[in-house]
Structure 1
């Protein structure tokens, strides 16, 4: 590496990575597209590798660009937290944060606790719902930002990848009969769609024993031994058992987790929390 990494260059690079379009990124950071292109060239010279590939629809990150993005987010979050702490700039105010139920159990306690240590005056109201409902609230302005499940091929800004797994009660984890009884989320959620598509491809008969956006209701059905469910691996509690392929169930694949912010009215607190999630979630 020919020199140190400039914070301003890294901030511009992250915006380019998140928007995928130089003109849109330039608008958001208040620079001309030409100036932003020069910044990206300078950053590539500093790291000694090409970071972006230009396409007809925008820009894509190279392998080295993907690697730098992980470091850039972490550096920026640490930098901004340090500036806030030592300038007396600990942030206050309130925001509404959306989070799917399974991620709330797996990740939210650590995210909220670590952010409160940096910004103790901040008040974060959490809204738990399935991803489609959170996206709708975000679009209407009812949320400041939200953690969402996305298909890996449909999103650029993936913070974490999660395996989808079949789960059952530990007391009822034997061979399941046909048709396979399923407890699933709402029909428009990724877990529901992945389960049905996977079983259809495998030619396995099934029936929907329970379908609802309520995770607690879904897990109650699973714990009763009446059905099996699909969860992300991080959301599997100790009283549930992941059903391996040896049980005759086909693999479900993976999904991504991303964070989206209501850009038009994003407050400094919302941007700070989004940056914190981007830095912390991948390493939890």
Structure 2
């Protein structure tokens, strides 16, 4: 009987699951669904004809066979990556893992990725869209290489600073209790809007709370509520210049891990240039 051929993708997923401890945490590192990872592990166990994992509460523990395979898997993956990097150069030194907030992904992702693909046609890119805090935690946990997000004015990773602006239908300003549309926590813009209204003593109520920027835009454009954002990535509705308290500046930030590969450093440069080249799009409310 011929010995089984163990595909590299199965061994890599196997090692990641072991390091993460659970399938859910493993999905954050290799961007596969839990069901896809389960199918991969079933296929791997079928190939070696023995169970590799046992349940230990919520965690997955290795069987004796799993412990044995893990040592070989790490050696095989290390040798595979070393060989590929030696033959192909920096483009195959590992995937480029980038995290972006929704504003950046919707406005810059297509153009930046197209440029990156031309410069590094053989490089693998993994992109994740989430809030800045979550992305920075992933960067700290070595699950991302680059994070493009928002921070306070003066953040050391600032690329560009812009003022926050109130956006929405001017007619809503006549409401005795201001209707407010916001993203779910944590959100720097949400916090700034509520803090400014509280400080000014302006009554308000949250009429829409959503995790999705597209939903927020649709609600504001429909006149459901007022929100705050920057105009760096385009407006949702006319900018409101009077009748509301002042808002702070916000920084567009670009954080990364030290010692990045050539493709990682290249993508950092492309994102930085794209942010600096953005022209604010302002649509002022018509005078009453």
TM-score, normalized by length of structure 2? 0.59
Give, in angstroms, the shift of residue 89 of structure 1. 6.8
Q: 2:209 aligns with which of 208, 211, 233?
A: 211
Aligned residue for 2:166, secondary structure, equals strand
Matching of residue 283 in structure 1 with residue 284 in structure 2: no
Cα deviation digits, residues 222-242 of structure 1 (max 9, x gap)? 2332111112212234x6222
Greater C-alpha radius of gyration: 2
Which digits, 9 at most, give the CA deviation of each residue in 1:197-231, with x for residues without a partner?
A: 11122221111122233212222322332111112
In the alignment, the residues of structure 2 paired with residue 215 and residue 108 of structure 1 have an alpha-carbon distance, to the nearest angstrom, of 15
Matches within 5 A, 1:12-161: 91-92=91-92, 94-153=95-154, 155-161=155-161
| Structure 2 partner of 1:45 | none
- Of structures 1 and 2, the one scoring higher in RCO (CA 8 A, sep 6+) is 1
The question of whether the paired residues in 1 share the 8 Å contact of 2:91 and 2:123 is answered with: yes
Partner of 2:237: 240
Which position in structure 2 is the counterpart of 1:270? Answer: 264
Mark the runs of 5 or more structure 1 residues left unpaired by the alignment: 1-87
Moved over 4 A (4+): none
Q: Is the 8 A contact 2:90 2:262 kept in 1?
A: no
Where structure 2 has 5 or more consecutive residues not aligned to the other structure, the ranges are: 1-87, 279-288
CA, structure 1 residues 140+121, in 2 after alignment: closer, same or farther (shift >3 Å)? same
* Residue-by-residue CA offset, 1:113-152 (whole Å, 9 max, x unaligned): 2222322223322211111121122222222211020101
The alignment yields a C-alpha RMSD, in angstroms, of 2.4
Count, aligned residues? 189
Contact kept, 8 Å, 1:184 with 1:211, in 2: the verdict is yes
The 2-side partners of 1:279 and 1:89 are apart by 25
Query: Aligned to 1:259, which of 240, 243, 254?
Result: 254
Q: Contact conserved, 2:116 with 2:266, CA < 8 A, in 1?
A: no
Q: Which residue of 2 aligns with 1:163?
A: 163
CA–CA distance in structure 1, aligned partners of residues 197 and 172 of structure 2:
16
The alpha-carbon deviation at position 187 of structure 1 amounts to 3.0
- TM norm structure 1: 0.60
1:243-282 Cα distance to aligned partner (Å, 9 max, x none): 222xx11231311111111337x43322221233234421
